[in-house]
């Protein structure tokens, strides 16, 4: 049985198909920045899908985003089920490379990405997180991890970042975390004009692309 596309944004490469990448949005929701990121991945040869965990709602202010994130957290089991549905959809359509799927999570989405890698080791083999952390038991994970973190982040304490890095290493997972000097939360997102750092964002993109290409070539 083939699953229909869940609510979200699908970006296909010019070849029509490629390795599958699940993109989990930040607390702003599935906005144009996330869609543009998926399109950028597709231009690099990947099949990218971002589920809409807010079901059409998008925030542009911090209070609005906080409200949406709180509502999602209160119903996190439903959100996790929707992420799992997105994995099933993507795994059925992505090019079968033998290297599973990748998941990329931004801030709030990073927490779900980490949880997913622990909960679904069969599908999730590569994880990229941007300025977000999360707890979990990574002992069953089969993924390699790449993390991008701001040097001056009021939303993500360095102690939390260190805890996740240590937990992944203790589970025997390959993990590389980068810290970007002079940056704050959302430094990768061009619509966050006060936070966006073009130099750091370009470097994070280059590192992400290299990680993904190596991963699906079987070198990660």
Tens of pLDDT along 40-99?
A: 999 999 999 999 999 999 999 999 999 999 999 999 999 999 999 999 999 999 988 888
Distance (Å, rounded) from C-alpha 64 to C-alpha 86?
25
Q: How confident is the model at residue 135 (pLDDT cuts 50, 70, 90)?
A: confident
Output the average pLDDT for the chain. 95
For residue 220, pLDDT over 60 is answered with no
Instruction: Give the pLDDT confidence score for residue 136 in this predicted structure.
Output: 84
Q: How confident is the model at residue 16 (pLDDT cuts 50, 70, 90)?
A: confident
For residue 219, pLDDT over 60 is answered with no
Question: CA nearest 5: which of 47, 57, 65?
Answer: 47
Instruction: Give the pLDDT confidence score for residue 44 in this predicted structure.
Output: 96
Tens of pLDDT along 154-184?
A: 999 999 999 999 999 999 999 999 999 999 9
In this prediction, residues 100-111 reach a mean pLDDT of: 97
For residue 185, pLDDT over 60 is answered with yes
Instruction: Give the pLDDT confidence score for residue 98 in this predicted structure.
Output: 85
Fold of the domain built from segment(s) 62-216:
Rossmann fold (3.40.50)
For residue 1, pLDDT over 80 is answered with no
In this prediction, residues 125-150 reach a mean pLDDT of: 96
Instruction: Give the pLDDT confidence score for residue 218 in this predicted structure.
Output: 58
């Amino acid at each position: 049985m083939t699953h229909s596309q869940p609510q979200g944004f699908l970006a296909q490469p010019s070849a029509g198909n490629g390795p599958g990448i699940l993109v989990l949005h930040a607390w702003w929701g599935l906005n144009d920045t996330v869609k543009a990121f998926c399109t950028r991945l597709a231009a690099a040869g990947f099949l990218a899908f971002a589920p809409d965990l807010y079901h059409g709602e998008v925030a542009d202010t911090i209070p609005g985003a906080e409200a949406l994130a709180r509502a999602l957290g209160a119903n996190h089991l439903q959100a996790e089920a929707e992420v799992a549905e997105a994995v099933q959809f993507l795994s059925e359509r992505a090019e079968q490379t033998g290297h599973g799927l990748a998941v990329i999570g931004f801030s709030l989405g990073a927490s779900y990405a980490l949880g997913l890698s622990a909960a679904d080791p069969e599908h999730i083999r590569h994880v990229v997180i941007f300025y977000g952390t999360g707890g979990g038991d990574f002992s069953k994970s089969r993924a390699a991890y790449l993390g991008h973190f701001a040097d001056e982040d009021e939303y993500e304490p360095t102690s939390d970042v260190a805890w996740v890095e240590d937990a992944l290493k203790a589970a025997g997972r390959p993990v590389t975390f980068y810290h970007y000097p002079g940056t704050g939360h959302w430094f990768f997102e061009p619509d966050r004009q006060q936070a966006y750092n073009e130099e750091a964002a370009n470097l994070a993109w280059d590192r992400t692309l290299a990680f993904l290409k190596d991963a699906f070539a079987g070198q990660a």
